[in-house]
Amino acid sequence: MRSSAATDFFEHIGRSVECWLSAMGAAFILLAQAVYQGFTGRQNYKEIANQMALIGFNSMPIVLVTVAFSAMVLAYHTATQFVRFGASSYVGGMVAVSVAREIAPVLTAVVVVARVGSSIAAEIGSMQVTEQIDALRSLAVSPVKYLVTPRLLACLTMLPVLTVFAGLIGVAGGYVVAVFSAGVNPTVYKSSMLSLLTVRDVWGGLIKAVIFGGLIAIISCQKGLNTRGGAAGVGRAITSAVVASIIWIYIVNYLLSVLIFPPVQL
């Protein structure tokens, strides 16, 4: 009895790992196809521009609100604690570095997953279950070129743009809270920010944003293209796209943080 339960358990683990590896392989193949299609034949610039507007411009308000308030909360807690220990000269730098390295790219990506990744999976998923994807193929149009490549290009370009604006509003929000709510000297805040924030922090955050953009586009498109089973299947595809994207963003964010920002040797 016990050995049967153990076998079932290991079988379950094996199947999950197989599923996970196969999904990862399929995502890499889709990425390679989308990149190849981006360099061959006539490009659909109108669709690329549409997607850039949808992903970039339309996501701007929610991204700005999310990052501004998160940075304000960070600044509030950092300032109140640092002031207690007489370290208020580090508040500006601490907030700016955190916003540039982590808060702006990660929260922007998570908001874009919720707003855009889910809509990509829903749109492509409903096209899949209503045979519109097959119709595209029957009309000699590659679904990868027509649907995936524009969304990939739009995510790759617009995530860094959103992250830049998110970073600016985050730093501004942090400044307002630290100065007007926690009593940090504005000149000290600014000089701390300028001395601690480096170009590497900014570029590191933007590299993360580009990679997160690629992850969101490919995972959401793949989940949409693999949709089966009508309306319920579309629902499952959306949930799966959001969950998988967020998990991968967190994992990749950790790896990139370690890679781009190694510990300083004293």
Partner 1 sequence: MIRIEGLSKDFGTHRVLSDISMTVERGEVVSIIGLSGCGKSTLLRHIIGLLRPTAGHVYIEGEDITAMGDAALNRVRRRMGMVFQYGALFDSMTVGDNVAFPLRQHTSMTREEAALKVAEKLDMVGLGGTEQLYPSELSGGMQKRVALARALALEPEILLFDEPTTGLDPVTTSTIEEKIAALQQRLHPTMVIVTHHMPTVYALSDRIVMLHEGRVMIKGTVDEVRNSDDPLVQQFLQGRAEGPIKLGLGG
| Nearest residue (CB) to partner 1, 104 versus 127 | 127
* Distance between CA atoms of residues 121 and 70, nearest Å: 27
Q: Which two tokens stand for residue 34?
A: 């989308």
By CB under 8 A, tell whether 39 contacts partner 1: no
Place of tokens 């360099």: 39
Residue closer to partner 1 by CB (options 132, 185) is: 132
- Residue 173 tokens, joined: 């929000």
Q: Which residue's CB is nearer to partner 1, number 80 or number 142?
A: 142
Contact pattern for partner 1 over residues 160 through 199, marking x by CB under 8 A: ----------------------------------------
Q: How far is the CB of 244 from partner 1 (least distance, A)?
A: 24
Q: Residue 142 CB, nearest distance to partner 1 (Å)?
A: 7
Name the H helices within the chain.
2-39, 45-52, 60-84, 91-98, 104-112, 118-129, 132-138, 143, 149-180, 186-196, 199-225, 230-260
Shorter beta-carbon distance to partner 1: residue 11 or 131: 131
**In Å, how far are 83, 88, 176, 181, 246 from 78, measured between CA atoms?**
8, 9, 13, 12, 26
Q: 74 vs 129, which CB is nearer to partner 1?
A: 129
| DSSP summary character for residue 88 | G
Supply angle C-alpha 55, 258, 156, rounded to 5. Answer: 20
* CB 27, CB 220: distance < 8 Å: no
Instruction: In angstroms, give the least distance from the CB of 235 to partner 1.
Output: 18
Residue (79 or 221) nearer to partner 1, CB? 221
CB of 138 to partner 1, least distance (A): 4
Question: Cβ of residue 46: shortest distance to partner 1, in angstroms?
Answer: 10
Which pair of tokens denotes residue 123?
């749109």
Q: What are phi and psi of 262, to 5 degrees?
A: -65, 155
Could you tell me how many residues of this chain bind partner 1 (CB under 8 A)? 12
Minimum CB distance to partner 1 smaller for 132 or for 198: 132
Identify whether the C-beta of residue 221 lies closer than 8 Å to the C-beta of residue 120: yes
Near partner 1 in 113-142, by CB under 8 A? 127, 130-132, 134-135, 137-142
How far apart are CB 37 and partner 1 at their closest, in Å?
10
- The 3 state secondary structure assigned to 225-253 is HCCCCHHHHHHHHHHHHHHHHHHHHHHHH
Interaction site with partner 1 (CB under 8 A): 127, 130-132, 134-135, 137-142
